[in-house]
Amino acid sequence: MPPLHVMTPARAKLPLSVAELLCAATSLAAALQAERSMDKSGIGDLERFAFWNSVVALSVMLFFLFWVAAVLLALFTRQRGNFPSAARYWKDLIPDVLFPPLLLAAGWLVFVLLG
């Protein structure tokens, strides 16, 4: 087992997942604030709306940046690791690579349907 100060691929998974979750939550919260800043008739605080929309765009871009890093980390782990079966490898990918985009899409779907 490597010392605690050495970042291994297994130890990098959790910070990436937390960063993806924070980006997804930030994008949804900022979208809610952007919607609240504008009235349905189009009257509202346009500067505030533009600010919150830029926060949404930045958080979504950061989400996908962290997601690509998680995909590359998973590929690197696949090359260096010994997995007993392909099913075990895919099971390891679900929380790290496959689940975060599905969570973001589900959050946005709920936001659109309820908004």
Q: Note the pLDDT of residue 52.
A: 95
Backbone angles phi, psi at 38, to 5 degrees: -115, 140
> Which residue range forms the structural domain that includes residue 29?
16-114
Asked, for residue 5, whether it belongs to a domain, the answer is no
For residue range 7-37, what is the model confidence (pLDDT) as tens digits? 666 677 788 888 998 999 999 999 999 988 8
pLDDT value, residue 62: 95
pLDDT in tens, 56-72: 999 999 999 999 988 88
Residue 92 located in a structural domain: yes
Q: Which of 92, 89, 106 is nearest to 21 (CA)?
A: 106
Q: How many structural domains does the chain have?
A: 1
